[in-house]
Chains A and B, each alone.
Chain A
Amino acid sequence: MKTLIFVRKTLLELWRSPQLILIYLFFPSMMVLMYSFAYGQSSGMASYLTVLVVNQDEGQLGAGFIEAMRKAEFDGKAAITVIEDLSPNQAEVMLDEGKAAMLVTLPSEFSAAILKDLPEPVQIEMLGDPLNDTYAFAQSFLQGLLHIYTDKLTGWQQELPTKIEFLPNTGTLNDFQVGMPGIVIFGVLFGVITNALLLTRERSDGTIKRIQLSKARAAHYLGGITLAGLILSLVQMAITFGVAALVGFKPVGSLPLAIGIGVLAGLSATGAGFIAAAFSKNEGEATGYGTALMVPLVFLSGAIFPMPVTEWFSIFGQSVQPYDIMPSTHAARAMSKVVLYGQGINNLGYELILMILLSLVIIVIGIWLYQRNVLSETR
């Protein structure tokens, strides 16, 4: 079958291009290692709750609250590290550098306010950077803690209206672990550039003419490259998750399913590579156009950081957002569901169907453009 001869040729050429094959196979692993080094040392969200405290309370309850903070636990571990006796300057520096979640100032009337129920409410200052996600968590956690503390003292019996909980295993995830699904998808999508380069090399070397002269069609040629890409994605995913395991990451859900999602995500990289190659006459252009396509696929998919929720419309109860037109969005979601939340294939129907369909759309567009711009005999 003509498609298979192109699979074989593509794999042979890549195998004999060490720079290209090494980047293709090991780029996601490099990202995993870098991310693990940068973000993988801490043990979860709660460990970031370093709280600075200035206790101006004239009574005893301020110290009591500080003690309650020290004893507070989350997911079985100490939740807060309290630092007292800092000067205002020192406190400001720590907040600026992100070394503390917030500065809590207990006013002089803190004890009086709890015991005597003063006519004016007492303000407890909680100073921090709202862009820092640990500040938001600390604020929420401490407010809850304060309610519990004051209710105990005043004998106020009430059920707390809210209870903060995280999904199992997620509250103690550090940034590396949370970012792992996105890293994998980013690495897969780097294949856009590799595929674009592979196809453009054929054009710049002139060997595309041999293919044009033969009985092979665009579908054979590009189909072969697609299949070769799937094989390589499989190897790439195995290496990536292997390296992740070495630095202590294990997917909560099924590893074969996670690898399968990564391989299927590679389809969109292949299609985008075809589109880039359709407009590229040399390797410089292939890199440029490939990057231009890869960047939105990665960054607008939510793979690296969450995108704001913007609903276009909903269909059968499923909210559809602008980013949903990209297969990488669904790939990132599916990967997170499996790797972080341990969900199975039964919960991935929507993501998998859209990922595959949208990837096929991109591939068809890529084949059409490549056929029209490069393989066409009309010149």
Chain B
Amino acid sequence: MTNIVLEAQNLSKSYNGLQAVKDLSLKVEEGEVFGFLGPNGAGKTTTINMLCGLLRPDSGLVLLHGKAVTNGSKETKAMVGVCPQNIVLWSKLTCLEQLIFVAQMYDLPERKARENAKRLLHELNLEEKSHKRAGTLSGGMQRRLNIAMALVHDPQIIVLDEPEAGLDPQSRVSVREYIQSLSRKKTVILTTHNMDEADRMADRVAIIDHGQLLVMDTTQALKAQTGDGDILEISLTNGLTDAETANRALIGFADKVSYEENSHSLHIHALNSIAHLPAFLERLINAGFAPGEVKIRQTTLEDVFIQLTGRRLRE
């Protein structure tokens, strides 16, 4: 039986008449990596801020272990560690100094604070930089220190807002591995607009757009909703873009056909798509389409998003 550590019930928030989050409800289970996926401006950070107590919702409740918490309560603060999207460090303090300082702000005694700080610096490969001022670190190191600041007080729930943003590929891998190691001991809530990041790291994903929760499930279940098999992307070179016509043309061969506006391409979900490719092309040409470039790939969360919204995650 899963243990729900964090629950949002009907959260809503507006800014100057603009609805940032609308009637959002979700549950986060203990020990999972929960992903928030959505384009920029979808309401991810606003939701996270409400869950962490940085922002008071216009309506709705946040429950921590089943107990309603008032925003900014000490309970919430002690149990949640937040790594913001922007790098937020005291540039004049060394890595060790600021980790100890943050830990002490959460009432950890100095000895324990120092212990945690040194352990985290070691785990995040920053041990050599312990006595260097944060302002002198590279971007990747600063981002790792940013993550360490969220963990130093040993919270049960860790919120990571776009943790891989601005990292080089090597650093991304090490951060990803570190987050996955955390999930065995902590509950991790991850926000991202990077579908690969969500796909690789999250156990369950909630897709959010325009402040509303569109869908929430495991990544496999979400991808399965879009259809079986692989996806063929066929770009179209003439004006005919009607997905209905394409569906009729490919009936019996393809599971689902959709049109993606930005790339002017048809996305065809089908089993054995390589084998059926000549037949697909012939039928599409007969139906009046002018196929161009052909790509084949596996279903991604972006396909889920496109199916739900008709747009890509990256506009």
Instruction: Verify B93–A205 contact, CB threshold 8 A.
Output: no
Mask: chain B, 52-86; 1 = CB below 8 Å from A; 0 = not: 11111000000000000001101001101010101
* CA distance in complex: A207, B91 (Å): 10
Instruction: Identify whether the interface residues of B are mostly helix, strand, loop, or mixed.
Output: loop
* CA distance in complex: A205, B146 (Å): 13
* CA distance in complex: A206, B97 (Å): 18
B5 interfacial by beta-carbon distance below 8 Å: no
Residues from chain A with a CB closer than 8 A to the CB of B149 are 210
Residues from chain A with a CB closer than 8 A to the CB of B153 are 214
Question: Would A13 and B92 be within 8 Å (CB), given that A210-B149, A377-B55, A379-B55 are in contact?
Answer: yes
Instruction: Verify B104–A2 contact, CB threshold 8 A.
Output: yes
Mask: chain B, 24-63; 1 = CB below 8 Å from A; 0 = not: 0000000000000000000000000000111110000000
Instruction: Verify B88–A211 contact, CB threshold 8 A.
Output: no
A378 interfacial by beta-carbon distance below 8 Å: yes
* CA distance in complex: A215, B77 (Å): 6
A5 interfacial by beta-carbon distance below 8 Å: yes
B186 interfacial by beta-carbon distance below 8 Å: no
B107 interfacial by beta-carbon distance below 8 Å: yes
A87 interfacial by beta-carbon distance below 8 Å: no
* CA distance in complex: A214, B106 (Å): 6
Residues from chain B with a CB closer than 8 A to the CB of A157 are none
Interface residue from B53, B101, B105, B133 paired with A16 (Cβ < 8 Å):
B133
Residues from chain A with a CB closer than 8 A to the CB of B53 are 213, 377
B281 interfacial by beta-carbon distance below 8 Å: no
* Minimal Cβ-Cβ distance residue in A for B84: A209
Residues from chain A with a CB closer than 8 A to the CB of B105 are 2, 5, 210-211, 214-216
Closest CB in chain A relative to B4 CB, distance in Å: 22
Which A residues between 193 and 227 are near B, CB-CB below 8 angstroms?
Answer: 205-207, 209-216
* CA distance in complex: A336, B101 (Å): 42
* Minimal Cβ-Cβ distance residue in A for B102: A210
* CA distance in complex: A247, B88 (Å): 46
Mask: chain B, 137-161; 1 = CB below 8 Å from A; 0 = not: 0000000000001000100000000
B90 interfacial by beta-carbon distance below 8 Å: yes
Q: Which residues of B contact A (CB under 8 A)?
A: 52-56, 71-72, 74, 77-78, 80, 82, 84, 86, 88-93, 97, 101-102, 104-107, 133, 149, 153
25 CB < 8 A contacts A-B? A2-B105, A5-B104, A9-B90, A9-B97, A12-B92, A13-B93, A16-B133, A207-B88, A207-B89, A207-B90, A209-B84, A209-B88, A210-B88, A210-B149, A212-B54, A212-B72, A213-B52, A213-B53, A213-B77, A214-B153, A215-B77, A215-B105, A377-B53, A377-B54, A377-B72
Which 4 pairs from chain A and chain B are nearest by CB?
Answer: A214-B105, A377-B72, A16-B92, A206-B88
